[in-house]
Structure 1
Amino acid sequence: MSDSSGMPMTFTTGQMTSLYSLAWTPSTTGGYAGTCIFLIVLAALSRLLLAYRHLIEQKWHDRAMNRRYIMVSGQNETDRERRIIGGGGEKAEEAVLTSKGLDERVKVVRSARSNVQGIPWRLSTDLPRAGLFTLNAGLAYLLMLAVMTLNVGYFLSVLAGLFVGELAVGRYAGIDDNHH
């Protein structure tokens, strides 16, 4: 049964269901199987991408939290100098070597905030983050469109791909990934 637009209103098992466009309409059993395999790979790829994004987010967060700042004691807030420095030696927590010699009034601190409000916007982090998010959303929408064909084979292929992807890399994805 279909409505006036020709879209099925119930699940169908037909092997000639178009996917994404009329040009992609399997005409043979092999073509249908290939389309189902494509959907399995696409769904598994979406889980791989989600796990990768979670791992890279952890790396970016750890890098932001490990940045160190120089704060000179005894100066008021407007005169306080803050500079990002790299990792120091053993004495780095106690004093900093400056152009005037060892300055023990300088304290090196790490960012104490563990939330995202304390992390500044950076092109080197936020551009790849936006790209990964957009790619993941695009994959999710393509999978949704495949399921919306109401073809049982396509639906089961998407589920199988999500299962395989989760089985392979689910332990690396975040718990709160909000991916359905």
Structure 2
Amino acid sequence: MNMDHMNHATSSASSSAATSMSSMSSMSSMSSMSMSMVFVNAHNTPLFSNQWTPSSSGAYAGTCIFLIVLSIIARLLSAFKAVMEQHWLDTHLNRRYVAVAGKSTEAGRIDADPDAKVASLVTAQGVEESVKVVRRTTREPLPWRFSVDLPRAFLFLVITGVSYLLMLAVMTMNIGYFCSVLAGAFLGELAVGRYVQANEHAH
């Protein structure tokens, strides 16, 4: 009975010790997590990998400049995508009507269209005919085209990748990295923000 009692006591003590150690480990982990959620100004904060750890103030400044440029590139890519979206939309909406002899009804309707723009068309026989460029006003989704949707998907992929890299830089909680990303976003918006805004207002 004494041996059983001693074994039971030893087992209980071991279980209590394990539970205590687990609780301490959990508390330590939570404490380290809460401590990491504050900005630091260390010049040796790794970026993206341990191999990219600035070892001097110059290397740290170079890393910050890289983040500024990367943030500007992110905004440039967004602006480029906005311009291409407008181009693809214009290509889809613009329709060309040729005023053919004997089709006075269609020609008259085109001439009366206030949205039509005067243009010219050179046929295979070299004859220049009267043409009106009429812009459609419908807003249905564009039809799927490999020549459009593949570049769009690739642009979105690049923009997403760059955005996640910037997010990882901000998550280091390094104040220099954070300010560099903000500075790049400001400069990028200052340079090409009007293209993005114009596309958003057009839709």
Normalised by the length of structure 1, the TM-score is 0.70
Q: Does 1:115 align with 2:143?
A: no
**Structure 2 unpaired stretches of 5+:** 1-27, 99-119, 122-127
Paired amino acid for 1:55: V
Distance 1:66 1:48 in 2: 27
TM superposition shift of 1:62: 0.4
CA deviations over 1:115-146 (Å, ceiling 9, x no partner): 242x2111111100111111111111100000
CA deviations over 1:47-84 (Å, ceiling 9, x no partner): 111111111111111011114589xxxxxxxxxxxxxx
Match of 2:17 in 1: none
Match of 1:52 in 2: 80
Residues 59 and 176 of structure 1: CA distance in aligned 2, closer, same or farther (over 3 Å): closer
Task: Identify which of 142, 145, 148 aligns with 1:125.
Answer: 148
Distance 1:52 1:110 in 2: 26
TM superposition shift of 1:91: 4.3
- Larger Rg belongs to: 2
Percent identical residues: 53
Distance 1:159 1:10 in 2: 17
Match of 1:15 in 2: 43
Distance 1:132 1:160 in 2: 23
Query: Secondary structure in 2 aligned to 1:174?
Result: helix
Aligned residues: 146
Q: What's the Cα RMSD here? A: 2.9
Q: Which gives a bigger RCO, structure 1 or 2 (Cα 8 Å, sep 6+)? A: 1
TM superposition shift of 1:114: 3.1
Q: Does 1:161 align with 2:189?
A: no
Which is helix-richer, 1 or 2?
2
Task: Identify which of 168, 175, 182 aligns with 1:152.
Answer: 175
Task: Identify which of 195, 199, 203 aligns with 1:172.
Answer: 195
The correspondence of residues 16-165 of structure 1 with structure 2, limited to 5 A, is 16-68=44-96, 88=121, 90-92=129-131, 112-117=136-141, 119-165=142-188
